Structure 1
Amino acid sequence: MNVLIKSATIVDSKSDFHNDTCDILIENGIITQIKDNIETPQKTKEISHNNLHVSQGWFDSSVSFGEPGYEERETIANGLKTAALSGFTDVAVNSNTNPVIDSYADIAFLKGKSQGNAVNLFPIGALTKNSEGEDLAELYDMSNAGSVAFYDYQKPIRNPNLMKLALQYASNFDGLICSFPQESQISGLGVMNENVMSTSLGLKGNPALAEELQIVRDLFLLEYTGGKLHIPTISTAKSVELIRNAKKRKLDVSCSVAIHNLVLTDDALKTFNTRFKVLPPLRTQSDCNALIEGLKDGTIDMVTSDHNPLDIEHKKIEFDYAKYGTIGLETAFGALNTIFTLKKTVDLLTKGKERYGLTSIPVAIGQKAKLTLFNPSEPYTLTKDMLFSTSKNSIFEDHEFKGKVYGIYNNQQLVIN
């Protein structure tokens, strides 16, 4: 499909056209012209929207869909459509499925299901067989099939020797090992942040210490093995400090933070609403401030929506028994755009690709067109009818945002809301 994007402000610090308002002509998937004004050629679709902005395609490093096994939560097809309408051209998909994605055939299944889509799906294989934390999964085989990392989604690896072996083994083929930062003996049955709020609500607390102890352990193991480690969704101020110091020691470590952990605190749980039950839990305002500072100085490498669709039967129950998780693709841009400048927001949404072996493509003549289209200034309040996901478990329902996504152009396909 040939497309002419009219009067779009380009937000891309790696482009010669950064901050310019131009027309962009795309022919056979390649950007052929970027000029002040381009006449619409024949058989070309013209795109014109209010306050239209364009950037490199966005990337999310932690997305769950459900299929196979939990299609009632989300299918791959609708999940990828949701990602596209939320501005994401690339998503790394967790093995949060039934059965767990832990073999060559499983990775091939995910790749096959996403074939021909506007959004590129990059599978994350399970680190251990069936994500049970006992034996390593077929890491090398999954890497050959297209797995970009290995992670038992939100399940800590209790056995330090297993983590040591994973780091050593994966270093033979430059594999990225992900370790969920929670020491399960310390976290116990905690369902929210251990703090004054958990005491006043009478809910069992999950202390910051549980996260920080696991990070310290994994950093020592990384220093010993010389492997390649990613720590997903950190949530405490001390975690930021630990990783900052590790990077100063030149350890090959990266980390991410879930966007909701930047915006919301454990005060949100006052109403016992299970929408706010997430893992890691919402922490304190001082933790939020430290996480934001960690993003500003580069200690935290990337943000993620940590998109995790859950059906109503798993959320509309007593707080102790509700599952952890929130959807987040649809609200990622609007939430970040209320905290950071537009340039920083777009920068954060396009970071992390290289860590997962992907390539960033600038908005430039002669380059493949992989673009996100959005309006950064439109305010709105999120309601359920705005959500594209099958499951509606959004932590940000009724929250005020700034910034609307129009859609994407990628793989010679235009997906516009």
Structure 2
Amino acid sequence: MNLIFKNATIIDATSPFHKQAVDITVENGIITKIGANLAADGFKVIELDNLHISKGWFDASVNFGEPGYEDRETIANGLATAAKSGFTDVAVQPTGNPIAEKQADIAFLKSKSAHTATQIHPIGALTKGSEGKDIAEFFDMKNAGAVAFGDYQKSLSDANLLKIALQYMQDFDGLVIAYSQDDKIKGKGVVHEGEVSTRLGLKGIPALAEELQIARNLYLLEYTGGKLHIPTISTAKSVALIREAKQKGLNVTCSVAVHNLLLTDDVLSDFDSRYKVAPPLRTEEHRKALLEGVLDGTIDVVTSDHNPLDVEIKKLEFDLAKDGTIGLESAFGVLNTLLPLEVVVEKLTAARNIFGVANQDITEGAPASFTLFNPDGEWVFEKKDILSKSKNSAFLGQQLKGRAYGVYNNGKLVLNN
């Protein structure tokens, strides 16, 4: 299918067409021409209100349920949701059943997106069964297409295992993902430790639980070398520690979840389990430090940390509910209320460099892989806007700005309409 995208403003700081409104022709999946007032003969015309186009967005942390938890989300619907939300690429966490810890598990996930607009980039488990006891089969998974290795929302208490993983992966330029939370200090905590937890009578998770583990992991990285990614940080001190490590030249990157940039623990007053996430929502002081870390480049990536959960494990008493929120559908609209548009696009595309996934420039002769969106217009996120099979969104009722139209990638156009 040959397409022409009419009057599209390109948002790409590396492109000579940055911030220019142009027409883009795509033939057999290749960008053939970029310019003003191009002839549309022989092309299907794509003309959308206030159309903007950027490199395809990449979400660095997504859960889909399948295999094993299809009641939460199937891969097919998850990929359709991601595409309609503007994501051409998603890094999928090893949270299925079985956990993705072998070559065949990675190959299964890769095969599921062979013919879809949104591509899966599997994260392999760091330890067998994500139990933190024995390292998994890194090299075989890497050969099958795994882009990194980590145990989702599980911190590795055995420092020696993390040391070995960092050393071993240098042989094939592997990336270690180290979720950082000292479980002994966390204890039975369910929310941020502070004024709100005290007032509500809920057990608190000190910021120290995250910061102490990050400090340990950074010391290990300094000792071993290698590449370390610290996902979904949530405290001011975490930002400071990673900033200092980068200044020392350590090869460390990090991400923050959209909900930690928008919300604070003040929303917990009604004990609504939609707001129970890991790491927990923290105070305004921490939220502002995270935003500052995004703006100054300390925080490399913003992720939805999309985690569909069914009502049986989510709509429970706060202490018993499972951590997690969906976020693909609302990610752009939230970030566009908090950050300048160019920063939003940068943080939604930067994971490619971290995970070793090729960048597709918006230039003539290149494969067409881009996100279509409108950065303007305010709206309220409602249940009808949820595309995921599960409905556990922490963003219901939030006023957002801008919408994703969809994506063009892998020779396929998917629009959210």
Name the SS of the counterpart of 1:105 in structure 2: helix
Cα deviation, residue 219, structure 1: 0.6
Is it true that 1:125 corresponds to 2:124 in the alignment? yes
Is it true that 1:68 corresponds to 2:58 in the alignment? no
Letter in 2 for 1:3: L
Name the SS of the counterpart of 2:337 in structure 1: coil
Cα deviation, residue 41, structure 1: 2.3
Is it true that 1:362 corresponds to 2:366 in the alignment? no
CA–CA separation in structure 1 for the residues paired with 2:24 and 2:120 = 26
Aligned to 2:181: 182
Cα deviation, residue 34, structure 1: 1.2
Cα deviation, residue 263, structure 1: 0.6
Letter in 2 for 1:33: K
Cα deviation, residue 242, structure 1: 0.3
Letter in 1 for 2:317: E
Is it true that 1:29 corresponds to 2:29 in the alignment? yes
Cα deviation, residue 144, structure 1: 0.8
> How do 1:207-356 and structure 2 match up within 5 A?
207-356=206-355
CA–CA separation in structure 2 for the residues paired with 1:131 and 1:194 = 27
CA–CA separation in structure 2 for the residues paired with 1:30 and 1:247 = 38
Letter in 2 for 1:194: E
Name the SS of the counterpart of 1:89 in structure 2: strand
Name the SS of the counterpart of 2:198 in structure 1: helix
Letter in 2 for 1:176: L
CA–CA separation in structure 1 for the residues paired with 2:161 and 2:344 = 37
Name the SS of the counterpart of 1:32 in structure 2: strand
CA–CA separation in structure 2 for the residues paired with 1:68 and 1:396 = 26
**Alpha-carbon deviations, 1:206-259, whole Å to 9, x = none?**
110000000011011111111211100000000000000111111111100001
Aligned to 1:18: 18
Cα deviation, residue 35, structure 1: 1.5
CA–CA separation in structure 2 for the residues paired with 1:216 and 1:309 = 30
Name the SS of the counterpart of 1:270 in structure 2: helix
**Alpha-carbon deviations, 1:103-155, whole Å to 9, x = none?**
00100111112221111110000000010000001011101111000010000
CA–CA separation in structure 1 for the residues paired with 2:360 and 2:104 = 30
CA–CA separation in structure 2 for the residues paired with 1:354 and 1:54 = 20
Cα deviation, residue 296, structure 1: 1.0
CA–CA separation in structure 1 for the residues paired with 2:224 and 2:340 = 39
Letter in 2 for 1:39: A
Percentage of identical aligned residues: 59
Name the SS of the counterpart of 2:378 in structure 1: strand
Q: What runs of 5+ residues in structure 1 fail to find an aligned partner?
A: none
Name the SS of the counterpart of 1:62 in structure 2: strand
Aligned to 1:136: 135
* Equivalent pairs, count: 416
Is it true that 1:50 corresponds to 2:49 in the alignment? yes
CA–CA separation in structure 2 for the residues paired with 1:91 and 1:253 = 20
Aligned to 1:396: 395
CA–CA separation in structure 2 for the residues paired with 1:103 and 1:150 = 11
Name the SS of the counterpart of 1:26 in structure 2: strand
CA–CA separation in structure 1 for the residues paired with 2:368 and 2:358 = 13
CA–CA separation in structure 2 for the residues paired with 1:349 and 1:161 = 33
Mean alpha-carbon deviation: is it higher for 277-286 or for 378-387?
378-387
Aligned to 1:386: 385
> How do 1:148-167 and structure 2 match up within 5 A?
148-167=147-166
CA–CA separation in structure 1 for the residues paired with 2:328 and 2:292 = 23
Cα deviation, residue 40, structure 1: 1.3
CA–CA separation in structure 2 for the residues paired with 1:371 and 1:91 = 14
**Alpha-carbon deviations, 1:319-362, whole Å to 9, x = none?**
00000000011111001100111111111111121110112222
Name the SS of the counterpart of 2:213 in structure 1: helix
Name the SS of the counterpart of 1:5 in structure 2: strand
TM-score, normalised via structure 2 length: 0.99
Name the SS of the counterpart of 2:319 in structure 1: helix
Is it true that 1:8 corresponds to 2:8 in the alignment? yes
Cα deviation, residue 8, structure 1: 1.0
Cα deviation, residue 365, structure 1: 1.4
Mean alpha-carbon deviation: is it higher for 342-351 or for 236-245?
342-351
CA–CA separation in structure 2 for the residues paired with 1:193 and 1:167 = 30
Aligned to 2:111: 112
Name the SS of the counterpart of 2:54 in structure 1: strand
CA–CA separation in structure 2 for the residues paired with 1:234 and 1:17 = 34
Shift >2 Å, 4+ stretches:
none
**Alpha-carbon deviations, 1:283-327, whole Å to 9, x = none?**
111111111111111111111000000011111110000000000
Cα deviation, residue 2, structure 1: 1.0
Name the SS of the counterpart of 1:46 in structure 2: strand
CA–CA separation in structure 1 for the residues paired with 2:25 and 2:91 = 29
Letter in 2 for 1:157: L
Is it true that 1:373 corresponds to 2:372 in the alignment? yes
CA–CA separation in structure 2 for the residues paired with 1:342 and 1:355 = 21
